[in-house]
Each structure stands twice: as structure tokens, then as C-alpha cells.
Amino acid sequence: MTISAAMVVAPQPEAAEAAAVILQNGGNAVDAAVACAFVQGVIDPMNCGLAGFGSMCVFMPSKKVHEYIDFHAPAPKAAREDMWADLIEGETRDGFGFVLKGRVNDVGYQSICVPASLRAYEVAHRRHGRLPWFDIVAQAIEWARSGWTVRPDVHAFWSEGEDMGRVAGYERLKYTKASRLLYCRQDGTPKVVGDLVVNPDLAATLEEIARNGADAFYRGDIAACIDRDMKSNGGLVSADDLAAYEAEILPPLWSSYRGHGVSTNRPPGGGLMLIEMLNVLESFDLRSMAHNSAEYIRTVCEAMKYATADKDRYIGDPKFVDVPVERLASKDYARELAAAIFRGERATVPRFNSGLPSKDTTHVSIVDREGNCVSMTHSLGMPSGVVTEGLGFIYNGCMAVFDPRPARAGSIAPGKARFSSICPSIVFKGGKPYIVVGAPGATQIAMGVLQSILNVIDFDMKMSDAVAAPRFSATSNIIDVTNRILRSETRKLQAEGYEVVRAPQSFGVACVHGIRIMGDTIDGGADPGADGMVISVN
């Protein structure tokens, strides 16, 4: 399989260009994706980085490889199921975490799960990369050393206020002295668009990793520094947690939609939700509905609500929870749910004491000229705000999304990974890759990816139009819509008794980035709600 030109799609121009440079220098899609991820961690530090988590789909037809490198950050060994059971104040409306007294799960040292991203980058490169490891890291080192300018999308996240009970972005940014020195002005406010960020500590950390590999982080001097900082500040992560961490290599979870094969990731990732929604919607003639009409929104949102309720009840880390994958992914079960929607029944999404969530993740989709495809979504969750002095990176805040109530699918357990909506996916047509897609966006990721797939398959949109079309979501009993959804249609939904919340933003509900392949030609779409871009590499 050969393609006329390679393509990179990512939410950050600097990172997309870094991937393009790797492809131009003879690297393959995996090399480019890992190089892109390293740069993303430098120039989008609240969304991703060395101490994050994620999922990476690798499809390499010439090697007969189709696998997922899953790197969901596990809870530290010191975590306990009931450790926060007496601190619960509520659950966020969108289901992306619980609100606890003192926000101990949401920001600070106890919010950190075991860093996973770096180990996965190295595993992917070792298994499938072509260029030397140092070359893969080199551009990120240069961006950290020379500096980068704050972009609009970065500043929007940094400056946003409290959201659905979560700690404000600017509070995370100034949580530790090391983070304040990097990302805030002298008055303590976040740096603004155009301000320069220089991070010599991160450059030194990356240089050590480039010379000595991921073991420098997980077992060497960097690990020792992390361990000291955690012990000094009540963190849960230990040197033993770091040394024990390994990424997982898993086969894809498969389904189909209108004759197309759909490959996505397994629990605790969001692929099962995506498959359930596609299976339900396959029973409906969506093409006959006007795109984003009240009828269309109602139908798709009911599928979203059923999948969300099933996620909350059943989907967790399969090493700890018996996830009914076969049932939730079955066409028969989907037809039962579709029949209920046809009858006008409404799904209910329970919330504990219960806007659109922040984008807190990033993504890259790449196809090289040999037909190798990579779709990788990686994240910090809601970032912890912690930067260890001398290391330069922000840790994940993944403990926030665990359910602090014992005996639940999402309950805390040492070594357990929490559910994430990330679902990097490939849709196949005639046995060949057709859509390579994924998104950041918290609980909205699967919802954004779903609508982009529907836009291509059911409404014949090219990829740029598919990711730019107005989106909506239902991760609770409320329908959230972006501001370009017509009010004439949402009034019809309200007349039917639906509560509709309109965001002031024109874009939102994840931030989808995808590539469409048609024979030897290719087109890409970078979500216009972010700062990203599509680069074609000849």
C-alpha cells in the first residue's frame, strides 16, 4: 500500500511540523508520532507530557502489524479504595471526576498517578521506529531550550476559571513554585498570547532521556528525584511504582458500521463506548435526517446517553473489573437500545449530587507514504499542577477521575487504571484504512470522534468539513450544544422537554483531528477550534 503523500494532523503547528521533519528525514509514521508527542509535551505542557498517559494505535500493513500500545496511568501502590470516601461533595455533571473536600484528588501531589507516557513512547519506537532515538527527541530538546510562544488555545486553558467543580486552570498553573516560574508573569497571572516560555530544566531532562532512554526516568537519577519530591510533599507515587510500570500491547477492539470495519482501543479506554454508539445508530437512517436537525441531535444524544450510563456502570480496568465487552459491543444489544429510542424512551444518566469540559488532552494522526497509520491520544487528565524543581514537566492528575466510592467499576485500587474516553481509531473501507481519527476533550472525546465518523460515512463530508461541523453532546441528562447549532432546532428539543445548555464557543465537544484516505490520495482535517494544522509531506 503506497500513498501519494504522507500527512500529519495535530493540534499544535510546532508539533505537526516536527513530525513532518521526521517524515522528510526518512522516518516512518511511528517515528513521526513519537517525535510529535515529545514536542507536544514541551509546547502544550498542561495537556500532555512525559508524566501523562494515553493510547496509540499502530497499523503497519507491510509488517502485518495492527496493535494498540495502551499506557493508562495506574493508581500508585499506596492508593486505597476508601481513602477519600468521607470527602465526597459531588460528581461533575459530565462525569469527568468527583469533587472532594480540599480538592485533594484534583490538584497537588495526591492527584498524581504513575507516569506512563514516556515508557510508551520508547516502546513504540523500539518496536516500530526507524530513526535513532536521539533524533526523535532532539526537536523537543531544542523547543525547551530556545523557547516557544504561548498560543491562543494554550492561553485559553491556562486562564479558564473553575469548571463543573474542577480547580481552575490558572490555579493549577501556579500550584508549585517551579510551575509559576515557567508559566506565570511576575504578578502571578498566566503568561498571555505571544509571551515566551523557556524551560531549561525540561531540556536537561529530555537530554538525559535522549542519551539513556526511558530507564533514566523510571529507574535512574530522574526517578530518584521524583521519589524524593513525592515523599517530601505527601505524594502517593514511589520509586517502586516507577520501576514497575510497563505499557501494554493489545489487539484492537473490532466492530463494523455500515459495512466499514472499525478498529479502536479496549477498556479502560473509550473505544467500547464508540462502538456501542455506532452500533445503536446503525439502526437509523441518519442520512434521511437533516444534519444537526432536532431529530438527528435527539437520536444521536440518546445513543450517547445509553453509552455513558453503561460506561459509568460497567467499564473500568479489565484487570480489576469484569467488563461485559461482548454484550456492550454486540449488535443485538444495540438493536434493543435503538428500539427504545424509536419508541421515544429516554435514557437516564445518574450523577452523584449532580458546560462543556475543558480540553485537557492532545492527539496526533499520521499516515506515511508506505501506508503506515498512527492515531495517538495522550494526556495529563486534568493536570496536577505539580512540577518537581529541576525537572521541568507537569505530572498527570489522573486520580481525580477515580470513583471515591468503594465497590464501583471506577473505584480506586492500587495498580488500577481509571476509565478514559480516549479512543484513537481507524475506520476501514474494503479492508484498507479509510479514516484515521482521534481527539482530546475529556468525556467528550468519544462524542466528537463519533460525530466526525458519522459526518464522513453518513453525510459524505471530506475530513476538514467533518471535524469543523458544529457538534453537540449528552454525557448527562442535559444536551450540550456549541453555539453554531441552530437555535431553531434546539427550541424543538426544548419543546420536547429536553434541557439544552448552549456554550458560548462556536467550537467544542472534543477537538477532532483526522485523515481520510481514498486510494492513493489523502485529505486531513485539523479541528478549527484549536491552533492545529494539516501538513502534507511529499
Q: What is the DSSP code string of 441-459?
A: -GGGHHHHHHHHHHHHHTT
Torsion angle of alpha carbons 104, 105, 106, 107, nearest 10°? 50
- Rounded Cα gap, residues 312 and 341, in angstroms: 20
Measure the CA dihedral 54/451/159/113, to 10°. -20
Q: How far apart are CA 427 and CA 257, in angstroms?
A: 9
Name the strand (E) or helix (H) holding 6: strand 6-10
* Distance between CA atoms of residues 125 and 528, nearest Å: 30
* Peptide bond between residue 268 and the one before it cis (omega within 30 degrees of 0): yes
Q: Is 280 in contact with 303 (CB distance < 8 Å)? A: yes
| DSSP, res 403 | B
pLDDT tens sequence across 338-371: 999 999 999 998 754 334 444 458 999 999 999 9
Q: Which helix (H) or strand (E) holds 35?
A: helix 29-43
Pairing mode of beta strands 521-526, 513-518: antiparallel
Q: How far apart are CA 18 and CA 279, in angstroms?
A: 37
299, 288 in Cβ contact below 8 A?
Answer: no
Nearest alpha-carbon partner for 317 in 266, 263, 375: 266
Task: Fill in the amino acid letter for 317.
Answer: D
> Cβ neighbours of residue 444 under 8 Å, at least 6 residues apart?
94, 356, 357, 421, 473, 475, 508, 509, 510
Smallest CA-to-CA distance from 360 within 443, 246, 287, 436 is with 443
Clarify whether 361 is annotated catalytic: yes
Instruction: Please state whether beta strands 53-60 and 65-71 pair in parallel, antiparallel, or not at all (unpaired).
Output: antiparallel
Give the HSE-up count for residue 46: Cα atoms under 13 Å, Cβ half-sphere: 30
Report CA 66 to chain centroid distance, whole Å: 20
CATH 1.10.246.130: does it fit domain 255-356+429-530? yes
C-alpha cell at 337: 437500545
What's the Cα-to-Cα distance from 23 to each of 27, 62, 272, 431, 537, rounded to whole Å? Answer: 5, 17, 32, 25, 7
Q: Quick one: cell of 317?
A: 480496568
- Give pLDDT, residue 355: 42
Of 205, 299, 308, 361, the active-site residue reads 361
Q: How far apart are CA 520 and CA 508, in angstroms?
A: 31
DSSP H helical ranges for 115-270: 117-128, 133-146, 152-159, 169-173, 177-183, 200-212, 215-218, 221-232, 239-244
Distances (CA, A) of 394 to 85, 288, 432: 27, 47, 38
What pLDDT does 93 receive? 65
The ranges assigned to domains in the chain are 6-148+200-249+358-401, 255-356+429-530
Q: Are 50 and 115 in contact (CB under 8 A)?
A: yes
Round to whole Å and give the CA distance between 10 and 376.
10
C-alpha cell of 143?
Answer: 523547543
3-state secondary structure of 253: strand
pLDDT in tens, the chain (538 residues): 788 889 999 999 999 999 999 999 999 999 999 999 999 999 999 999 999 999 999 999 999 999 999 999 999 999 999 999 999 888 776 666 788 888 899 899 999 999 999 999 999 999 999 999 999 999 999 999 999 999 998 998 888 766 556 788 888 888 999 999 999 999 989 999 999 999 999 999 999 999 999 999 999 999 999 999 999 999 999 999 999 999 999 999 999 999 999 999 999 999 999 999 999 999 999 999 999 999 999 999 999 999 999 999 999 999 999 999 999 999 999 999 999 999 999 999 875 433 444 445 899 999 999 999 999 999 998 899 999 999 999 999 999 989 999 999 999 999 999 999 999 999 999 999 999 999 988 789 999 999 999 999 999 999 999 999 999 999 989 999 999 999 999 999 999 999 999 999 999 999 999 999 998 899 999 999 999 999 999 8
Q: What is the pTM (predicted TM-score) of this model?
A: 0.95
Given this model, what pLDDT does residue 231 score?
Answer: 98
Residue 35 to residue 43: CA distance in whole angstroms? 13
Using alpha carbons only, how large is the chain's radius of gyration in Å?
Answer: 21
